[in-house]
Structure 1
Amino acid sequence: MASNGVSGLDMEKKSGGGGGVEDIYGEDSATEDQLVTPRTVSVASGYTLLRDPHHNKGLAFTEKERDAHYLRGLLPPAVLNQDLQEKRLMHNLRQYKVPLQRYMAMMDLQERNERLFYKLLIDNVEELLPVVYTPTVGEACQKYGSIFRRPQGLYISLKEKGKILEVLKNWPERSIQVIVVTDGERILGLGDLGCQGMGIPVGKLSLYTALGGLRPSACLPVTIDVGTNNEQLLKDEFYIGLKQRRATGQEYAELLHEFMCAVKQNYGERVLVQFEDFANHNAFELLAKYSKTHLVFNDDIQGTASVVLAGLIASLKLVGGSLAEHTFLFLGAGEAGTGIAELIALEISKQTKAPLEETRKKIWLVDSKGLIVHSRMESLQHFKKPWAHEHESIRALLDAVKSIKPTVLIGSSGVGKTFTKEVVEAMTSFNEKPLILALSNPTSQSECTAEEAYTWSKGRAIFASGSPFDPVEYNGKLFVPGQANNAYIFPGFGLGLIMSGAIRVHEDMLLAASEALAAQVTQENYDKGLIYPPFCNIRKISAHIAANVAAKAYQLGLASRLPRPEHLVKYAESCMYSPVYRSYL
């Protein structure tokens, strides 16, 4: 029986020949609609069972299970329980010195023994998160063609135009609750990786399960392949995608529209589609277009914004004042920068009742051409226009910092080493505790390192980054840098949408998620200079975020799972998938 209050069910022995096992309720009833008649899933026995990652337990099969399911002789005689298997695997993983080797070992485990993979990830989340996601996933995507072994997810290319619905039906699972989709054009800070961007949806969905408790079988990674403009990949004989330049305009729009319509037709109104690592122009357009008709979420625009806003709300305990009393300066005015800026403005508007046009004036953005000001209005992309304020033109970030005198400096530029010593010293000259967020991923693209931020500010900066940094000792004091990682938000956010049966995402849900995350930061965390709680409590954090998001869905009349559960946090915890082995007797 699944532990931790999870509503999973034991496997029962199949009646009749073959001696296989049967899961009467499908893999898990967690986050499943209880009104739907469950499907019956038959699981093979013997050699085939050992090669089924959903049900394989390796050496953890007991003597009785080995007899019942024709495994006698197919395994060495030792019986190792799941905890011992986990201990052995962690020992082996730590022997690898190269992060990509650890990544490949984890992917091999996921393809061999799904429950053990998730148990390992949940129990060792702080150590393994950088392995299965940023920064290592960036390198994995760059080398995906070379390390490709077995497809994980659906590849929908221009070749499938006109038959995407048929392609979706090729996926073995029918009850899909979340799809993470990319077109590979802007993978982290690494640019166009085309079809090799599949590492991102695969990684994100493993976090949906480990951190947010969604069933692995309810998750579908998708890569839309419309070609690539990466010359290196086009010349690479091992490249796994279409060898042509990117389709754009009508051809691109039609493929995406067919995909979105097919998803809704095949999986229903309540399937969550999460857009991931699309280039700016497509990201904003797709979100605007489909947010009215589908349950969609863009992690780069909305997830990043929500996690950063949570850090800002939490940081007020350290820097004082309200959000409205602070001045914000961004380096980077793409998806992340404008998304964060808009959510900050919304939160200030909600707190002060001031109109959004007013609250935006506390927020300044710098792009590759300098400070975004009113005189540049004609040449600005539409998503930058709300941030064009009256001010003289300024080209350099340092000059913008000196002129605007922000209390908060946020980097989302994708360009490393841009928060220079002079910039950090300028921030420190007019702030007792400057708040510096270097958010660009992977680590090589970070605007500055934790050590640089603490050293150049003489230990006064409150710092958080997108990629992980080790603690820093300065003047005898240990500083622990926070990580503004989207993994704090999207797994719990998605769980909240799914458990409430939400049919649309509303901006108030993003604010609810931010407030729930900020509320999880303890005094002990603040004492170390942290503005985010540690990842070791991530499932508890996700349950609180899910509860807040679900409550907002019910309040806004966007929830379709009725009646509303009385205790939403407990309900969220009860919905979570457990990786503990089932008994097959």
Structure 2
Amino acid sequence: MPKRQYEVLPGGHGSRVKINARGRAVLRNPRINRGTAFTLEERQKLELVGLLPTNVTPLEAQLRRAYERFRLAETSLERFAYLQALRERNTILFYRLLSDHLAEMMPIVYTPTIGEAIKGFSLWYQAVNGIFLSVDQPDSIEESLQNCGLDPNEIDLLIVTDSEGILGIGDQGVGGIQICTGKKSVYTAAAGIDPDRILPIVLDVGTDNLRLLNDELYMGERHGRVRGERYDQFVDHFVRTAVKVFPHAMLHWEDFGANNAHRLLQKYRGEICTFNDDIQGTAAVVASAILAGVKAKHERLADQSFVIHGGGTAGVGIADLLIDLMAKEGLTRDEARARFWVTSSRGLVTDDATQKFRDFQRPYARGIGELADWEVDRPGHYMLADIVRNVHPTVLVGTSGQPGSFTEAIVKDMGSHVARPLILPLSNPTSLAEAVPSDLIAWTDGRAMIATGSPFAPVSYHGVAYTIAQANNALVFPGIGLGVGLCRASRVTDAMIAASAEAVAALSLVQKPGDSLLPSVEDLRRVSGTVALRVAAAAEADGVAARPLTNPVDQMFDAMWIAAYPELIFED
């Protein structure tokens, strides 16, 4: 095997690196390239003399220049393209810049801007540090993974998508690799997971997106999306091979379609270390906001009643986790489930024989007999307004993708029965939100406690500034990944997900009207560290931790990668 271009040496935080490459090979490798920051002595030893401008620029000056270049970009997509190019040129500079301006740049490298980048992937294509696996070439999976040139213990995290359910824009074919690279950026910036130990992967199973199939520049497989047995065989072959090649890695499922997301998670979670952010990550951050709101009301979670408007992957995942948390308060699972009313596109999910629903929705079907005395707008139809009118929920969650569905009449009806209603319009992007915070605050005379899926500016109402909590998965998934790697968990258990929700909720201080239900993304390193410790402790309690944590805080801190130019070690 040829000698590697560089080796990270023991010493913590990736602070010492031995460089074996020379000349332009150094500048082409983003992990070791530091451009004009190489000192004159380093340039001589690395055979870089004459290949860089004469003046040596320290990291701080590079950061100022990079930030100014970022600000000069006129559109969000241009800023995304600049940051992507920077990431592929200089790993340290990119992650330091992102960490220093995380609140400003996360909407660029992640949602919402990344959605536009994904749609234009084939046109805007630049080198992507990830793996492309084709359903038409299943025999090349192991070769593709081995071509990373990494040993089995050198990968902690595999982020994989089949691109069917990308954000709010649906099937995006091979361009879905970008959502995985976006997640990778957040894992590193928020939780300090070494970017070299994270591998983005796209499973190219075709696409049903006619715009892509008719685009001559499209770079994915040019046929309809493969489904059924062939799809399952391909995914299973990938999972088995990935575990073989990288046995210590957590497999993070990202943006699969609703049916496959639940099915694949349930199929593999008892066998391997795996996590679905759209189901479990979304559930954890939403549960955190609800826990914080319930605490602020001096009530128990078990005393609440919930309407989940949109019983898809996210909505049912939220309900499932809340039931786990209510069970910890002493309810049976049946008692907890009885506090939920879940809608589909046809209204309330019921056991009516004529109603079709997905298997994962079945536990939430209400008995049609219990609705006999309901006051409804149309007999035999149980829509959102009818549910709120008859149930008087204390918590209203929107995961429907139906903009404006939390109408003034519905919200005022809810507010007439609840002193401090918890209302969470979570659908992304902003154009799909079930309601906007300014309306919710006005319709409830400032009493609503709100968390949204998209970022919203603070709202001023009657002299009070309301900070709007964003239920951003970045508050939980980086810490889950860090905690799993820290204790080398063999599984991701329900208790670990619940622990992540409780950890974030514990950092939320809702003491007066206008306080946010969730911590700020500007505090992600602290949040992620707190989540990681709680997740690792839950893993140990569940018996799935292979690495004991004798000094958890120090072990976690030592495991975090820091974006700083390391000490360079040269061969004699």
**TM-score, reference length from structure 2:** 0.93
What is the CA distance between 1:389 and its match in structure 2?
Answer: 2.0
CA distance in 1, matches of 2:110, 2:38: 30
Q: What does 1:3-18 correspond to in 2, within 5 Å? A: none
Matched, 1:459 2:456: no
Larger displacement relative to structure 2 (448-457 or 323-332) = 448-457
User: Quick check: 2:12–2:558 contact (8 Å CA) kept in 1?
Assistant: no
CA distance in 2, matches of 1:521, 1:302: 20
Query: Whole-Å Cα distance in 2 between the matches of residues 225 and 550 of structure 1?
Result: 33
For 2:219 and 2:439, the matched residues in 1 are separated by 39
| Structure-to-structure mapping, 1:139-178, within 5 angstroms | 139-174=116-151, 175-178=154-157
State the AA in 1 paired with 2:301.
L
Question: What is the identity, as a one-letter code, of the residue corresponding to 1:576?
Answer: M
Q: Which amino acid aligns with 2:540?
A: Y
Could you say which residue in structure 1 is the equivalent of 2:374? none
Whole-Å Cα distance in 2 between the matches of residues 543 and 405 of structure 1? Answer: 38
- Structure 2 residue aligned with 1:401, among 388, 404, 408? 388
CA distance in 2, matches of 1:96, 1:422: 43
Measured after TM superposition, the shift of residue 66 of structure 1 is 2.3
Contact 1:176 1:220 in 2 (8 A): yes
Residues 1:380 and 2:367 aligned together = no
**Aligned counterpart, 2:428:** 441
Alignment of 1:29-108 (within 5 A): 42-108=19-85
CA contact (8 A) 2:509 2:517 kept: no
Give the 3-state SS of the residue equivalent to 2:270 in structure 1.
coil
* Shift in alpha-carbon separation, 1:173–1:156, aligned structure 2, 3 A: same
Q: Indicate which of 527, 531, 539 corresponds to 2:517.
A: 531
Counterpart residue number, 1:9: none
Please give the per-residue CA displacement for 1:121-147, whole angstroms capped at 9, x wherever unaligned.
Answer: 111111111111111111111111111
> Are 2:18 and 2:568, in contact at CA under 8 Å, matched by a contact in 1?
no
Matched, 1:293 2:277: no
| Contact 2:181/2:200 (8 A) holds in 1 | yes
Among 555, 561, 572, the alignment partner of 1:577 is 561
Q: Would you say the 8 A contact 2:510–2:516 is kept in 1?
A: no
Q: Once the 2 structures are TM-superposed, how far is the Cα of residue 565 of structure 1 from its aligned partner?
A: 2.2
Q: Percent identity?
A: 37
The partner residue of 1:199 within 178, 186, 193 is 178
Structure 2: gaps (5+ residues): 372-379
Change (3 A) 1:97 1:453: farther
Q: In 2 relative to 1, CA 95–473 (structure 1 residues): closer, same or farther, beyond 3 Å? A: farther
Aligned-pair distance for 1:49? 1.4
Equivalents in 1 of 2:19, 2:66: separation in Å? Answer: 29
Could you give the per-residue CA deviations for residues 486-541 of structure 1, whole angstroms, max 9, x where no partner exists? 111111001111111110111011111111111112357x6642011112221111
Q: Does 1:272 align with 2:258?
A: no
Deviation at 1:446, TM superposition (A): 1.8
Taking a change above 3 Å as real, the CA distance of residues 170 and 412 of structure 1, as seen in their structure-2 partners, is same
SS at match of 1:491: helix
The code of the aligned residue for 2:239 comes to M
User: C-alpha displacement at 1:293, in angstroms?
Assistant: 1.2
* 2:177 aligned with 1:190: no
Letter in 2 for 1:69: L
Report the CA distance between 1:276 and its aligned residue: 0.7
CA-atom RMSD in angstroms: 2.2
Checking the alignment, whether the CA contact within 8 Å between 1:394 and 1:400 is kept in structure 2 is: no
- The aligned counterpart of 1:548 is 534
CA distance in 2, matches of 1:41, 1:386: 56
Q: Deviations over 1:469-500 (max 9, x none)?
A: 11122223211100101111111001111111
Residues 1:226 and 2:205 are matched in the alignment: yes
SS in 2 for 1:379: coil
Residues 429 and 101 (structure 1 numbering): CA distance in 2 closer, same or farther, change over 3 Å?
Answer: same
Q: 2:375 is matched with which residue?
A: none
What amino acid sits opposite 1:580 in the alignment? A
Query: Are the equivalent residues in 2 in contact too, given 1:173–1:217 (CA < 8 A)?
Result: no
> Is 149-158 or 445-454 further displaced after alignment?
445-454
Give the letter for the 2:234 counterpart.
Answer: L
Match of 1:311 among 280, 289, 295: 289
CA distance in 2, matches of 1:83, 1:540: 23
Report the CA distance between 1:566 and its aligned residue: 2.8
The alignment partner of 2:159 has SS state of strand
Conservation of the 8 A alpha-carbon contact between 1:546 and 1:569: no
The 1-side partners of 2:405 and 2:73 are apart by 32
Query: How many residues matched?
Result: 555
Range with bigger deviation, 42-51 or 489-498: 42-51
Q: 1:291-335, CA deviations, whole angstroms, 9 ceiling, x for partnerless residues?
A: 121111111111111111111111123333110111110111011
**Which one of the candidate residues 510, 515, 520 is aligned to 2:507?**
520
What is the CA–CA distance in structure 1 between the aligned matches of 2:184 and 2:124, rounded to whole Å?
19
CA displacement, residues 77-99 of structure 1 (integer Å, 9 cap, x when unaligned) = 22222122112222221222311
- Displacement, 1:229? 0.8
Find the partner of 1:350 among 328, 352, 355: 328
SS at match of 2:193: coil
Q: What SS does structure 1 have at the residue aligned with 2:208? A: coil
Equivalent position of 1:321 in the other structure: 299
Within 5 A, what are the aligned runs for 1:556-571?
Answer: 556-561=542-547, 564-571=548-555
Q: What is the alpha-carbon distance in structure 2 between the residues aligned to residue 134 and residue 80 of structure 1? A: 32
1:121 paired residue among 81, 98, 108? 98
Q: Check whether the contact 1:138–1:442 (CA below 8 A) recurs between aligned residues.
A: no
**Whole-Å separation in 1 of the counterparts to 2:20 and 2:76:** 35
Residue 248 of structure 1 aligns with which residue?
227
Which whole-Å CA distance do the structure 1 matches of 2:560 and 2:353 have between them?
Answer: 49
The residue that corresponds to 2:218 in the other structure is 239
Partners of 2:75 and 2:456 in 1: CA distance: 17
Task: Judge conservation of contact 1:332–1:368 (CA < 8 Å) in 2.
Answer: yes
Amino acid at match of 1:498: G
Cα distance in 1 for partners of 2:98, 2:65 equals 14
Q: Is the 8 A contact 2:155 2:198 kept in 1?
A: yes
Distance 1:456 1:111, change over 3 A: same
TM-score by length of 1: 0.91
Specify whether residues 339 and 376 from structure 1 end up closer, same or farther in structure 2 by C-alpha distance, changes over 3 A only: farther
| SS of the residue 2:341 aligns to | strand
How far does residue 183 in structure 1 lie from its aligned partner after superposition? 0.4
1:226: how far off? 0.8
